[in-house]
Structure 1
């Protein structure tokens, strides 16, 4: 569920895009647009009872045919992704439509993090998937450098140009050449809360970090632990850090740290870690304390927030829009029992961070290129949108395709941001640092969650791991 895998951040100079600096300066405008969208997320919405994470949308069942696909009877191809549960199920519905239109047979291949290592094993064994959904720009770059990836063909590029802002095209490119279709996006600057808990505590939605701390105290005083943290999955901790760092240090520092142009021993990193420790360092504010959090996987961090009525294990859980999928596994309704507010401002601006999953071709064929073309079209995204727990950066997907007002507002805000966004920092890094369980940033922040007093030690470890991964 790492996904796509949404601060919204822009890929650094690794794409070779000369307009990246201009987009970086647009952070405030982009943040305002996305914050405006997420502020409306507390409106009631028809959350789903099933594991699809959203209500039914009859409009999404009426699939359109805006893209022409070849007949591929007798052809077969495989698609690898680190998606499980409802996320995998819903993507398979999209693949079913591709099969229906083309006659090709598509097999979904469950992958594991880090996906680059998984793909390396498959390639070494002579069985690479035809297409892989890569959750990091850094992974796309590595796949290209290793000679695994194939550039997108003319048809897929045409769909990209028609349906995606230049910024989303750029982060799927390496040295100016398009390799990835960012099929799935995520707004990763949201905090979800149990409305019964907030009502009992007399708490309201905070807009600043200090207000968040006040809200946490009110929830704690009411008898409920404030936060649920899925610390067993290190990527959730990187997302916490990125939101704090982007808001507190600002977009320019964020871009520099993402590219390792400044060291993790920089004072700005110490400031962000110290801020995080205001929550992570309070054992009574984290469900199960640090040890409990480090044994809690992301899905459980969500479900334990929305089960147990007004006495759940925690009152709030931080993560992206895809939390809706896991809420759908409980009896809670999004928009009534479960609501959401934007990650509060630590500095002058509230952070807006984005992530995403890109389709990358590993075995060049007419079928693989056709699937990439389909995934770049509004057709594929419209099907997935109607199933819930999904956002598309495709600007030609109608907001009405999403099953509830919560997702419609998030989708509108995502598209409205255009080229002005920041992408998840750890996803920009080499996978050895930003995308490997038990190593690099994931492990260093897990260790920091265990001992939030050791800011300097955490910085030293982060810098040592980053220098080794970036090669500088």
Structure 2
């Protein structure tokens, strides 16, 4: 799998600055506006899928000389403010890469993003290729404002098979199994779970999954809608109490709150045998395969879904993470540019060569009927698992700090960090988040 900077990590750096990240390779970032005469202008990430985007543009432009797409790539941090400024001035790109969720919703409210619903409905062969659970992340008030353009990034539970073998255990299927496993591992002097707590956002994965498993997707839907008292829902309180239970049981490795998630330290604890498990996004596979190729190639790395919670309302197939990155079309684009952009998204993205390029890079695209291609790809066991997990998910919840507004997402990470540190109680966490939402 190709080494790349996880898009999840890139996102956290600028959540407060609208959080639509698009990067580039040292471009000056000239803005030609939506009506550029040399083709539809596209802004996209320099890391991640850049090679796929470049190859796609070359192929498309050769076959469509009268409706070209011209990519520009920008560094992550400068881009955030640049996009806001350019779109606000009516001089933004025709297409721009984003994560959907709350940040995209801000542009939708400002009427800066084109509604693609009718384009998709009029081309069912296009719409029906995409996993519905992924398309949902760019669907706002029932209308679609973006289409996925790269691979899915679900959060899974990774484990060191050798360490679990030392205590004669299998990966936990239920929450009670996890607590029992924590006790067994600690008795053997093995740290149960690694986590990059210093970065805060890995904490969120535990809350997202537990709230889903206890209360189902509607619990967060109420939070995202800004409903009064939604954070004090019994399912949220129960999830916060379960987090406290896990922390108090010594579930996480010593000093986890000082470990960075941005440097691969947390994953290294798993492949060096210092911790048995880690809950992390699909990008962690690449981190571990790069950090210790032999550990992965020898079959010592295992993976599993998040444990079920007895009596919970959430379906066991539900997953959380980043459904994909999306391309959205500027509402300020001229009719010709918009038509060309939509045509490119329909026929130039996720075609055979595009999919092959993503798979070569280790990405798993959310496109139906790829079983044969997946099985023939590198790291087939892992890619097949991710593909099936995403395809079969009844719900794929976008990371909360991206689904919410950037400001509320930052507040959430701050208070959740305090919960993990034992500085506030589960009840205080819920109350503080209700207060923040009401502001």
- Normalised TM-score (structure 1): 0.70
Kindly indicate whether the alpha-carbon contact (under 8 Å) linking 2:191 and 2:251 is maintained by their aligned counterparts in 1: yes
Alpha-carbon deviation of 1:318? 0.2
**1:93: which partner in 2?**
52
Query: How far does residue 184 in structure 1 lie from its aligned partner after superposition?
Result: 3.9
Structure 1 segment 209-224 matched on structure 2, within 5 A: 209-224=175-190
Give the equivalent residue in structure 2 for 1:456.
427
Q: Is the 8 A contact 1:399 1:411 kept in 2?
A: no
1:165 Cα deviation (Å)?
4.7
Residues 274 and 455 of structure 1 are in contact (CA less than 8 Å); yes or no, is this contact kept in structure 2? Answer: yes
Distance 1:351 1:466, change over 3 A: farther
Equivalent position of 1:428 in the other structure: 403
CA distance in 2, matches of 1:242, 1:260: 17
Q: Which has the higher contact order (CA 8 A, sep 6+)?
A: 1
Instruction: Give the Å deviation of 1:413.
Output: 3.8
Mapping of 1:9-24 within 5 angstroms?
Answer: none
Superimposed CA distance per residue, residues 158-205 of structure 1 (whole angstroms, 9 cap, x where no aligned partner): 363241255544543334443200234546342101222222333321
- Answer whether contact 2:364 2:383 (CA < 8 A) is retained: yes
**Which secondary structure does the structure 2 equivalent of 1:264 belong to?**
helix
Q: 1:229 to 1:121 in 2, by over 3 A?
A: farther
Specify which of 222, 225, 238 is matched with residue 191 of structure 2.
225
Whole-angstrom distance in 2 between the partners of 1:386 and 1:73: 34
Which of 110, 134, 137 in structure 1 is aligned with 2:75?
110
- Pick which of 347-356 and 332-341 moved more: 347-356
Q: Answer yes or no: is the 8 Å Cα contact 1:92–1:108 preserved in 2.
A: no
- Partner deviation per Cα, 1:366-425 (whole Å, 9 max, x = no partner): 66445433235454234202321x2322214344234312211331342244xx324236
| Unaligned residue ranges in structure 2 (runs of 5+) | 1-5, 11-35, 63-68
Aligned with 1:391: secondary structure?
A: coil
Contact 2:167-2:184 within 8 A present in 1 as well:
yes
1:82-120 Cα offsets, whole Å, 9 max, x none, are: x74xxx2x442343232233155423223249x865632
Q: Does residue 358 of structure 1 match 2:326?
A: yes
- Distance apart, 1:453 and its partner CA: 5.3
Matched, 1:322 2:283: yes
Q: Deviations over 1:335-358 (max 9, x none)?
A: 712111111112345362243222
Q: Counterpart of 2:214 in 1: which secondary structure?
A: helix
Q: How does 1:346-385 map to 2 (within 5 A)?
A: 346-348=309-311, 350=316, 352-354=318-320, 355-356=322-323, 357-362=325-330, 364=333, 365=337, 368-373=341-346, 374-375=348-349, 377=351, 379-385=353-359
Secondary structure of the 1:188 match is strand
Q: In 2, distance between residues paired with 1:93 and 1:257? A: 36
1:333 corresponds to which residue? Answer: 296
Q: Name the Cα RMSD after superposition.
A: 3.3
Q: Cα 1:209–1:399, aligned 2, differ >3 Å: closer, same or farther?
A: farther
Alignment partner, residue 16 of structure 1: none
- 1:303 and 2:267 are equivalent in the alignment: yes
The 4+ residue runs of structure 1 with deviation greater than 6 A are 153-157
Any idea what SS the aligned residue of 2:191 has? coil
> What is the TM-score with the length of structure 2 in the denominator?
0.75
Where does structure 1 lack aligned partners over 5 or more consecutive residues? 6-71
* Pair 1:144 & 2:144 matched: no
Distance 1:167 1:188 in 2: 12
